[in-house]
Structure formats: structure tokens, C-alpha cells
Amino acid sequence: MSIRYDGKVAIVTGSGQGLGRSHAIELAKRGAKVVVNDLGGGVDGSGGSSDAAKAVVAEIEALGGEAIANGANVAKYDEVEAMVQQTMDKWGRVDILVNNAGILRDKSFVKGTLDDFKLVLDVHLMGSVNCTKACWEIMREQAYGRIVVTTSSSGLYGNFGQANYGSAKMGVIGLMNTLAQEGAKYNIRISALAPTAGTRMTEGLIPEEAFALLTPETVTPAVLYMVSEDAPTRTIMAAGAGGFSVARIVESAGIWLAPEDQTPEGIAANWDAISSTDGETQPQTGAEQTMKMAGLAMQGLGLS
């Protein structure tokens, strides 16, 4: 079965270079009309130029595809709205949104400034919120939408010097978890990519031999799958160097403590049972945790 996007319109943010460029070109190769969005700034978000986005558009057009360049700053909702309106004016629909734009302001928490922290949150988290919000009603009305947010192992597992980046990247998981529920009846599916690639953001951080294997092109197939018609939803897919896996947030089965043991000392005494991996589950909604805890209590009290 061949996965294609003929008749579909895709917006890919931060697609002037690296991962975004790879995503945009491969979507176009498979028939999508693509908005190549890129502010054109440095890795730290400074500066700006439309040259990179225009160059990717030229590459797509040379391959026989259709694309337009856009320089909206994803952290500014008015600019994002204008980008989506430009897309609607040009092609009349938005089917695919890949939230890829990002910056780095790496410093240990004690040395980093709050201004840098807020800026990283604005670009990664609010940038994803802004772009998704601007497309949401369109996707609802056409009863079709495929959205990818870009998370990171820094958010899922932590990485020294990236408290700001990690916070933003875990934030998009919360966004995904809720929007997957709200979009389900409108055929809107949303998942998260946790990429490992040799880009401007990772250059100098990993050995040269490994860097050569971690090409953006080895990550993009994950995105192509997550924006296909038969895509999963509410899924975190990790990808890099041709390897693919799924990350999950799980919760231990837990235990109920009798009233006299509902103390910090009681928790300490029962910690092995509380934290046991036996019977772990992957809750699908926040309400499931509430129901589980109430169920444990009812069982412990002999009420069920």
C-alpha cells in the first residue's frame, strides 16, 4: 500500500532547514501542497530571513510539486492566523499540520534567565498551540485533520541544561492528549514525534560518527505515517537513524492503604508495592485515574 497525500494541503513550521525541510519535501513528493513556514532565524531564535523557506519552495517546485513560502513567527498568533488565511486563499483547505518550529537557549537552570525560559515556551509550546488553534475550526468543519507536535527525549526523560526546552516539549504532550479526545469525532488525529537527528540543534553534542547516521531523512517517515489517512492518534513515536519506537506514559496498579496507614510513614512502608511495575496500565483519560483510585478504596473497604 502506497501512502500519498494527493489533494491534501500541509503546513510545516520551521521547514527552512533540517527536519522541517525534510518533512516538507517528502510530503510534496507524495502529492501534498505544502506551506513552507520558516522565520529564518538562528538556532537561538534571533534574526530572520525568508531565504531558507524560499529555497525549499524552489526545491519542491523543481520536483514538480506545489508550495508557498511563509515567514510567520509561530509565537505570534496574528502572524499564524495570516499564514493560515494565506493557505485557505491559495488552496481552500488545511489537512495536515506539522508543528516543527523550535529554538534552543540551553543553560543550567541556575544560570538561565526567565526571559529565555519564556521565549522557549513561547516558540515550542505556544507556537504549537497557536498553529493548531488557527487550523482547528477548519479541520473540524471539513471533518479531517492530521496534526503532529514535536516533543523530545529532553521532555520525556530530561536532559541537563534543558529545563526550558524540556518543559515546553512535555507541554505539547499534554496538548496532544487532550486534543486527541476533543478531535476524535471530527476525524482529527494528533500524535507526537520525538526525533533524534543530526541538525543545527544537535551539532557538536554527539560524536561525529553517530551524527552522520542521524539524518533528518531517517526521521521523516515517522511523520509521513502520523499524517496519513490511517494514522494513529495520541501516540508518541520516537525516530532516529532508521529506528522507530513508541513511548508511553504508564501508571502503576497501585494499592489502597487502610485509614491508619494513610500517612507518609505508611507510604514509605508500602513503597515497593505502590511503585511495582506489575500491572502497569496506560490511562486514556485523566478520569481513569480517579476511577481507579475510587475503585481501590471501595475494594479495600469491602464496598464492591
pLDDT of amino acid 69 = 97
pLDDT of amino acid 42 = 59
pLDDT of amino acid 48 = 53
Contact between 43 and 200 under an 8 Å Cβ cutoff? The reply is: yes
Nearest CA-CA partner of 165 in 45, 258, 66, 48: 45
* Residue 5 among the catalytic residues: no
β-pairing, 236-240 with 188-195? parallel
CB atoms within 10 A of CB 248: 10
pLDDT of amino acid 201 = 56
Contact between 74 and 131 under an 8 Å Cβ cutoff? The reply is: yes
Half-sphere exposure of 84 (CA within 13 A, CB side): 21
- Calpha distance 62→40 (Å, rounded): 21
**Any idea where the domains of the chain sit in the sequence?**
9-247, 259-300
pTM: 0.94
Q: One of 5, 144, 165, 225 is an active-site residue; which one?
A: 165
Each residue's pLDDT, cut to its tens digit, for the chain (304 residues) gives 899 999 999 999 999 999 999 999 999 999 999 999 999 855 655 545 689 999 999 999 999 999 999 999 999 999 999 999 999 999 999 999 999 999 999 999 999 999 999 999 999 999 999 999 999 999 999 999 999 999 999 999 999 999 999 999 999 999 999 999 999 999 999 999 999 876 555 666 677 777 788 899 999 999 999 999 999 999 999 999 999 999 999 999 999 999 999 999 999 999 999 999 999 999 999 999 999 999 999 999 999 7
Task: Please identify which residue in the block is written with the cell numbers 553517530.
Answer: 210
Half-sphere exposure of 10 (CA within 13 A, CB side): 36
* Residue 285 vs residues 177, 180, 184, 289: alpha-carbon distances, Å: 8, 10, 13, 8
| CATH number for region 9-247 | 3.40.50.720
